[in-house]
Amino acid sequence: MEKKTCIAMVPCPGQGHLIPLVEFAKTLIHQHNNLHLTLLIPTLGPPTPSIKAILNSLPPNIDFNILPHISIQDLPQNVHPAIHMKLTVTHSLPFLHEALTSLNTRTHLVALIFDVFSSDALHLANQFNILSYVFFTSGALTLSFCLSFPKLDETVSSQFIDSTKTVNVPGSIIPFQVKDLVDLVLYERSSEIYKIYLGLCQKLYFVDGIIVNSFTDMEAEAIRAVQEKTTFVDSPSVYPVGPIIGTGSTSKESQMECIQWLNNQPPKSVLYICFGSGGTITHDNLNEIAFGLELSGQKFLWVLRAPNNSASSSYLMGQMEDHLSYLPSGFLNRTKEQGLVVPSWAPQIEILSHGSTGGFLSHCGWNSTLESVVHSVPMIAWPLFAEQRMNAIVLTDVLKVAVRPKVDDQSSGIVKHEEIARVIKIIMEEEEGLQIRKRIKDLSDAAAVALSEHGSSTRALSILAHKFQNI
């Protein structure tokens, strides 16, 4: 019997990295069902119930193998989440080797697709003599910066000391201040996190291709920059296949309260507030958002997480605190007719696609950004960490589908409630907000075209699948 053509996929820890790869796998199988995919999943502790539900609902052509857990006690403590993400995969390499050996025996294994933080798996692809691809979960402009960074490090690394200096990223029509770049470059050059990020960027040049979750009409110049060989001479082929987003929660019970509440609100009247799967804000800013919501008088649905001075404090490890206790005294009573506060998590796809949702106060993570674009919801940009400041600048200054509140005190990062109320009213009420709404609707239409039968992203995916099928 002829062995089935198989592709192995290696995500890294973090829901924001696993889910896009899962959705990409589902899209690939849907369009090219003669392929077989196997997810090999490194884990830092047991998977959450929501991750289990996602994996257990995969179509027949996609298998998954949750690798033995890596103990957080075996990893450095009090470090950037990116270090834990990368080291979890590094510690899982023996288990990955074993799983790939088994797959290679049972199937016609042709390729290994891995997250950028899982790129230690590259040497396994070389060992098994199979194709290697990075699935890049951020946008094309961030990819362009990553491809640029090794040369920047060699030639002008001193500029990263002065956060007010500017850097020209290939494919961007505006320069970025150093302080707004991917936050991993802001560490000391001798630090472990800086070295890890530099190593990840260097490895991008040694894979067979890079799959980026973006589409031409959203990032035309950046995609052109990473695809053409004039700027990045030795870079691999780049396949823009986005927007790849989640299809929604698998749990009806978990979304019932939110959706029932939205069902009773007027069209486009509700501001949705969420800082992603693990972002946190300070207690001072939590209070300012609460007072800003009150002052604006706008309806809101707020996914509340316990505050923390570290913006990424709960990215890999969830919190079990009583989140509502951090709200200003009397806030819930004063706003009970105005809004709904839910702890930790809400069904974001269902909320953004709901007719009552009119705006999104977002941390500008790439997944949330794409979800907002696809569902045509204008944004208030409140970036926290990783590449989110770069995303925010593109959304506000280039695409002009978001507004950004001004920080009152740069050292503390506090945004005053009067400023929060001002940007809420812009998005939800004013003429400027209507123009933003029109622009994001046009971008949403372009996303649908990219994913259509003859769209640019569908063509890119077909080219990629053809490579797999002809090995």
Tell the burial category of 156 from Cβ atoms under 10 Å away from its Cβ (0-12, 13-18, 19+): exposed
Tell the burial category of 221 from Cβ atoms under 10 Å away from its Cβ (0-12, 13-18, 19+): middle
456: left (phi over 0), alpha (psi -120 to 50) or beta: alpha
CA distance 161 to 99: 43
CA distance 321 to 407: 28
E strand spans, 324-454? 339-343, 357-362, 379-381, 402-403
Radius of gyration of the chain (CA): 22
CA distance 267 to 328: 28
Give just the sign of the alpha carbon dihedral 147, 153, 154, 159: positive
Residue with tokens 């320069």: 175
CA distance 312 to 13: 14
CA distance 200 to 138: 14
Q: How far is the CA of 390 from the CAs of 16, 79, 327, in angstroms?
A: 17, 22, 30
Q: State how far Cα 62 lies from the chain centre.
A: 22
Residue with tokens 């001004």: 406
Structure tokens at 465: 């699948």
The answer to whether the beta carbons of residues 106 and 38 sit under 8 Å apart is no
Residues marked as catalytic: 17, 115
Tell the burial category of 151 from Cβ atoms under 10 Å away from its Cβ (0-12, 13-18, 19+): exposed
CA distance 40 to 384: 30
Backbone phi and psi for residue 358, each to the nearest 5 degrees, phi listed first: -115, -10
Residue partners of 7: CB distance under 8 A and separation at least 6: 28, 35, 36, 37, 38, 109, 110, 111, 112, 113, 468
CA distance 131 to 128: 9
Element (H, E) at 167: strand 166-167
